[in-house]
Structure 1
Amino acid sequence: MDKQTQIELEAAAFRRLQKHLMEDRTDVQNIDMMNLAGFCRNCLSRWYQEAANERGIEMTKDEGREAFYGMTMDEWKANFQTDASAAKQAEFKDAFEKNVGKG
């Protein structure tokens, strides 16, 4: 497989994952994703932002989130985010530190 085809396939897979998380499975909470898989939609949006920044494209955290989510974080939270239990929040703290770092 040539490099350009590989890039196009990887981009297509990313777009499919994004659609799945943003349209098909809005019921799945970020906190549950982070606790189970060690990443969530916010991680994906941060990786998008970091990739842009590495290429000299200025993009803030909020701009990266809006690009990935297709809406502002406030809109996402209002439409799809539910309250998390204290146990889930504690588990998230550990998962975040393990997978992202101290924050």
Structure 2
Amino acid sequence: MNEQQKTELEAAAFRRLLDHLDNNKQVQNIELMLLADFCRNCLSKWYLAAAEERNILLTDEEAREAIYKMPYSEWKKNHQLPATEEQLAAFNAKSAAKKKQ
């Protein structure tokens, strides 16, 4: 496999990940953070960082829209539920443990 083919496969896998997340909007970002240590917001930050590394002008909102497939404010309004006390406690405990490392 050459570098171009590798890049094409990686891009296809990334698009499939975004489609999977889009088709599973019921999975909340905090749940992703607790289970996988990343979420849709992380992906948008990584996307933005990749653009910046390549001197591609992109705003935070544009990066989020690329990941969420809609404006973030719309996704948040229509799909984001308030975090439960249990989720927040688990997230805070995980964050505190990471800081100790």
Q: Is the TM-score greater than 0.5? A: yes
Identity %: 52
Alpha-carbon distance in structure 2 between the residues aligned to 1:12 and 1:95: 32
Alpha carbons of 1:29 and 1:48: their partners in 2 closer, same or farther (altered >3 Å)? same
Distance between the aligned counterparts of 1:31 and 1:18, measured in 2? Answer: 17
Larger radius of gyration: 2
| Match of residue 33 from structure 1 | 32
- Opposite residue 28 of structure 2, the aligned amino acid is Q
Residues 38, 96 of structure 1: 8 Å contact kept: no
**Pairing 1:15–2:18 present:** no
Q: State the TM-score, normalized to the length of structure 2.
A: 0.87
The structural deviation recorded for 1:7 is: 0.4
RMSD over aligned Cα atoms: 1.7
Counterpart of 1:93 in structure 2 is 92
Moved over 3 A (4+): 93-98
For 1:92 and 1:31, locate their aligned partners in 2 and report how far apart those are by CA, in whole Å: 8
In structure 2, how many angstroms separate the alpha carbons of the residues matched to 1:62 and 1:30?
A: 17
Count of aligned pairs: 98
Per-residue CA deviation, residues 2-33 of structure 1 (Å, 9 max, x unaligned), is 110000000000000000001x2111100000
SS at match of 1:4: helix
Q: What secondary structure is seen at the aligned counterpart in 1 of 2:55?
A: coil
CA distance in structure 2 between the partners assigned to 1:12 and 1:25 by the alignment: 18
Separation of aligned partners in 1, 2:91 and 2:43 = 16
Question: 1:96 and 1:55 mapped to 2: Cα distance?
Answer: 31
Unaligned stretches of 5+ residues in structure 1: none
